[in-house]
Amino acid sequence: MNTSILLKFYLSNNSPEFQIGSILEDYMNYTNKDLYPDEIIEGYNHQCSISSVFVNHPAYLKSEKLLDCKLRKNSDKIIPMFYDHFLRMNWDKFSDTPFEVFYTTLLSNFSEYQNYLPYKYKRLNDVIFRKNWYSELQTIGGTHKIMMQQTKRFTFNATLEHSINSLIEHYSEHRSNFFEILPDLKKASHDFVLLKRDTVFI
């Protein structure tokens, strides 16, 4: 879920370390793991585990098939943005924490742990918060705006930006797929935490 700016944080069990670890999904590797505390490494492992469930889930695969063929190679970057939109729109259905409280806590966590963020991530998160992307996600137009800005970060030209057409044309299908996949992602997150907890006590 490399381009997710909300879903991965929602699934991070309200853990600041898991939130930081989740955005290092495409950055952390065996050569730089020593730079991070164990809790952030666990957050990274947690995110990798969820991402594996995500890209193999029937609902994700159904959303992938709705994309134009030329877009599907980047579906793991495109579909998370669609699902971020649906999560933000339906936040009250999936969280007991008001979004404003969640947002304020997330902002505080990034401020506290910013020394663990690579430079490009510090810049990205500054943009996310400064331009209030989390409010933009509530509309299709706002989501498209974010996609246009995200396009500049990647090397696949305007693929992400143009994928908004799939969201518009197949809105109800993508929404249905999101509602299908989210409970399983939450379960995968919960199971990861339980497994780690049980392992500690063995």
What distance, in Å, lies between the first and last C-alpha atoms of the chain? 32
Judge whether 27 and 118 are in contact, CB under 8 Å. yes
Digitized pLDDT (tens) for each residue of the chain, 202 residues in all:
777 889 999 999 889 999 999 988 777 765 577 788 999 999 999 999 999 999 999 999 999 999 998 888 889 889 999 999 999 999 999 999 999 999 999 888 888 888 888 777 777 677 777 778 888 999 999 999 888 877 766 555 556 777 899 999 999 999 999 999 999 999 999 999 887 655 544 4
**In this structure, is the dihedral angle defined by the CA atoms of residues 96, 51, 104 and 151, taken in order, positive or negative?**
negative
- pTM of the entire structure? 0.89
pLDDT at 201: 41
Structure-token match 């890209």, residue found: 55
* Whole-angstrom distance, CA of residue 114 vs CA of residue 112: 6
pLDDT at 173: 98
pLDDT at 202: 41
Find how far residue 8's CA is from the centre of its chain. Answer: 4
